[in-house]
Amino acid sequence: MADHRSLPLTDLSEDEKLFQDTVRSFAEERIRPLVSKMDQEASMPRDLIDACFDLGLMGIEIPEALGGAASTFFMSVLVVEELARVDASVAVLVDVQNTLFNNALLRWGSEAQKAKYFPKLSTKWVGAYALSEAGSGSDAFALACKAADKGDHYELTGQKLWITNANEAELFIVLANADPSKGYKGITAFLVERGTPGFSIGKKEDKLGIRASSTCELIFEDCQISKDNVLGEVGKGYKIAIETLNEGRIGIASQMVGVAQGAYEHALKYAQERKQFGKEISEFQAVQFELANMAMQIEGARLLTYNAARLRDVGSPFIKEAAMAKLFASRVAEYVTSKAIEIFGGNGFTKEYPVEKYYRDQKVGQIYEGTSNMQLMVIAKQILGKMA
């Protein structure tokens, strides 16, 4: 096992640099012209989603034989960061597909499940991860959604809330309790296809930020799921949920780094264009210091994020590092986007300029895939456990 202290962090391999440049060009040319319209209409054009598939962004770790790029988790992190630099909604679409859905199927799916679904997930099918419920947010194991064993199939009954990608997804990983008498040890993961009788997509949320990313309710009414579509083992869904979210946090951290980077770049450019008192505002020391602080914090968040991703790829422990990256990067995104608005002044408070959207998009980073308080709890348990 490699020593993570010797691993490069911001140093990228030639392949990583090439793919990063490709994704940046794609984001600038294909996504940026659509950002304002997608935000206003709270929707994402299907042809843009198809373009993400065509570029290979939706199956980064899927084996080549099954249609994917056979690349690394770290590459997913680079992709999400570059997309979020331009638009966080597209970034989270790609993030959920790779770090949550594909990752879970890679680790716990049967060979038959992988052969059936990965060719579709790498070329045309969007995936969604359904854990949260009205009474089950941070308390992820307080699931009310039930899965009744009916012999040759399970029958799912209940609701899920705040499910990212739900409007576009063709395949869902759904966590439900197959044996409530066992508590969290009854939780089981199921692969549920769109269009399955008894399964429907409910209300789409009208959100503050990442508006082009769909967030919907899922409704299950005696929905019959074949036992072939159990993901992993019955009663081991809690393990899938915990371990997948640990990795997903790194993806959210990379999204927040990208959001911060995008807002910072706009602020840096504007500070060198806007004139007050006869000179560019970037010549004022107060503005220079703000830009310096922004740049420093972004780099710190990027290093934490890259470190966690590198650790994950080499099989080293990364739970603490993932929580730190997600917590710190979300705080940095809030700070940087707020300061960017201040540098823009009154213009920054209007929708005519881009930075107010970055500010709205960042807030969810402190909420989904574990709130900031949950990250602090994870970090505390890790450091106190090591002391013990």
* Catalytic center residues: 369
User: What H or E segment, with its residue span, contains residue 130?
Assistant: strand 126-130
Tell me the two tokens of residue 336. Answer: 């940087």
Residues 33 and 26: their CA atoms lie apart, in Å, by: 11
Q: Helix, strand, or coil here: 126? A: strand
Among candidate residues 64, 95, 63, the one with its CA nearest the CA of residue 79: 95
Q: Dump the DSSP string for 169-224.
A: EEEEEEEEES-GGGGGGGEEEEEEETT-TTEEEEEEP--SS-TTS-EEEEEEEEEE
Buried b (16+ CB within 10 A) or exposed e, 63-91: eeebbbbebbbbbbbbbbbbbbbbbbbbb
CA dist 64 → 61, 68, 75, 122, 146 (Å) = 9, 5, 15, 10, 36
Which residue has tokens 């939706």? 58
- How many other C-beta atoms lie within 10 A of the C-beta of residue 46? 10
Contact, 348 vs 299, CB < 8 A?
no
Residues 359 and 333: their CA atoms lie apart, in Å, by: 8
Among candidate residues 388, 380, 387, 256, the one with its CA nearest the CA of residue 320: 380
Q: What are phi and psi of 14, to 5 degrees?
A: -60, -40
Residues 231 and 236: their CA atoms lie apart, in Å, by: 9
Contact, 319 vs 380, CB < 8 A?
no
Among candidate residues 164, 154, 157, 123, the one with its CA nearest the CA of residue 143: 157
